[in-house]
Structure 1
């Protein structure tokens, strides 16, 4: 799916909340990105008449520019604006952006859109700037956003999810990075002493066993599962449940030797070699990381790398012949 990691559900949730309070609102959508502008087509930005913001442009020069350029929120308006040097805005990164501006979109439409994402559906939102109301339809995960100059078709999927097995220093650093990347983070930690050391409010922490946590989450193509418990009894349970799932990235902490032993155990538990080969081990990209923070960075980099891969991470990392054919 060619959508950004932009936390669409959070933006729409804020928009719907403001509308329920009776506030005038504006929704801006990036419909075209030129040059090195760091925002993808489909990125959402919302604001209300009190100046509150939500979305990837919040607190940026672009957010401030949109507020100034578009003026007072009107009763019901759809417009297209550009942001770039010719429009009086020199972006630090260069490039140019084109925005679809909607003032006070239909609250029922916003709620329907939000409900679809809450149900982890992929939807296509179509809006014709010449006339007509926005429409929502079920979309394929392989569809791309499309802009013709007057017709916008945006592809929106549910927020990205990350399930971590084990609450330790790496989990804390990784949760913080993942949140900044737009993931919702859940930590499975049955051990009370480990849960006690995890910062309150950083992520959703469950004492459920890892396999139960995976099954409760029902991983889809926008879900990643990483085991960090340093306890084979817990890590293996999480991997056993996650490897056959639709999760786009499944990985485990540990050395290559540890991973080979882990794979052998999972094969013994009934998983087939192709399924076991989906598990990346050691987790993360090879950046010679050593400290918990560095390891978290390497894993976060792998999350992004797999997500940006055309096959959504369906890269089968090599399992040694001794393991694969045991």
Structure 2
């Protein structure tokens, strides 16, 4: 079981799965990042005694280096290692990373952590390398991550979610890309023939109407919603519920003229003008995309841009 999914929930799920099998495991956390290092503070990476990995470092050269270094740590519950030119590893970016290594973290603690994130709350996790059980507490997304050299306080939010209205070729390509970006994908598609043709393994497909799907998801600041149904009756329903929500990105496919008509319809139905202005249309970055795959790439790029803008605006928050 190896996954490159960057979501904290996916890493913790893998960790729990391995522990349930009785495997020896290690949890690795980036606690310090210098220069243009490729992984942010708070990034999680897990591995087990069979060499399986989970997290964004899985399958990378840096992940292999960390795996080798952690293998040299003997009989230490918690340890710290650094990666950089002075440590025998020249990162392409010239940066340096500091890792906190936890040997066989308490399974009950990992389960409690997973359950807390499952409520879509922000969590502060505190661990002291000098000893003691790690602590979990409710936190604000604006709290900073802190590393003193022996005390780590990480702020973790729930996994990123993407709701797609409509199941078609663009949705399939976008779902596939979004999963590699750490998004949990849900597709709202009331049309049976479209659901039948949607590839398996690209997220949860529901026959719920788009507005019901939005409300069931309870969008928060780590949720994006994109209307791709090519049917105003479905797209408008989803946007009606999504635009006033806390979702960090709300968008719809279609030309500028189509979007203008869409906004006029939503305004005529009484949707608040400020909410209508939140809807990006056409969805995606302007890269002259034409094919379904290209359109999906442009929307995925917009998701990354908006996600990074949000998390950089509060640079103290760990974004997986």
Scaled to the shorter chain, the TM-score interval is over 0.9
Q: TM-score, normalised by structure 1?
A: 0.91
Give unmatched runs, 5+ long, in structure 2.
Answer: 314-320
Q: What secondary structure does 2:33 align onto?
A: strand
Question: Is structure 2 residue 132 aligned with structure 1 residue 135?
Answer: no
Whether contact under 8 Å (2:165, 2:187) holds in the other structure is yes
Tell me the distance in 1 between the aligned counterparts of 2:119 and 2:72: 34
Whether contact under 8 Å (1:256, 1:282) holds in the other structure is yes
Tell me the distance in 1 between the aligned counterparts of 2:32 and 2:213: 39
Structure 1 residues 74 and 24, CA gap change in structure 2 (3 angstroms): farther
Structure 1 residues 168 and 312, CA gap change in structure 2 (3 angstroms): farther
Residue 208 (structure 1) shift: 1.0
**Counterpart in the other structure of 2:14:** 14
- 1:43-71 deviation per Cα after TM superposition (whole angstroms, max 9, x unaligned): 11111111111111111112221222122
Residue 149 (structure 1) shift: 1.5
Tell me the distance in 1 between the aligned counterparts of 2:73 and 2:112: 23
- 1:74-126 deviation per Cα after TM superposition (whole angstroms, max 9, x unaligned): 56611111011111112233311100000011111111101011111110111
- 1:162-181 deviation per Cα after TM superposition (whole angstroms, max 9, x unaligned): 00001111111111110110
Relative contact order, CA 8 A, sep 6+: which one is greater?
Answer: 2
Q: TM-score, normalised by structure 2?
A: 0.92
**Counterpart in the other structure of 2:316:** none
Question: Is structure 2 residue 52 aligned with structure 1 residue 49?
Answer: no
Structure 1 residues 312 and 62, CA gap change in structure 2 (3 angstroms): closer
**Counterpart in the other structure of 2:232:** 232
Whether contact under 8 Å (2:224, 2:249) holds in the other structure is yes
**Counterpart in the other structure of 1:64:** 64
**Counterpart in the other structure of 2:249:** 249
Residue 72 (structure 1) shift: 5.7
- 1:210-234 deviation per Cα after TM superposition (whole angstroms, max 9, x unaligned): 1111111111110000000110000
Whether contact under 8 Å (1:306, 1:312) holds in the other structure is no
Question: Is structure 2 residue 118 aligned with structure 1 residue 97?
Answer: no
Residue 307 (structure 1) shift: 0.9
Tell me the distance in 2 between the aligned counterparts of 1:302 and 1:27: 31
**Counterpart in the other structure of 1:302:** 302
Tell me the distance in 2 between the aligned counterparts of 1:67 and 1:105: 17
Tell me the distance in 1 between the aligned counterparts of 2:112 and 2:247: 26
Tell me the distance in 2 between the aligned counterparts of 1:190 and 1:308: 32
Whether contact under 8 Å (1:74, 1:103) holds in the other structure is no
Runs of 4+ in 1 over 3 A off after TM superposition: 72-76, 310-313
Whether contact under 8 Å (2:174, 2:299) holds in the other structure is yes
Question: Is structure 2 residue 138 aligned with structure 1 residue 160?
Answer: no
> Which segment is superposed worse, 74-83 or 111-120?
74-83
Aligned length: 309
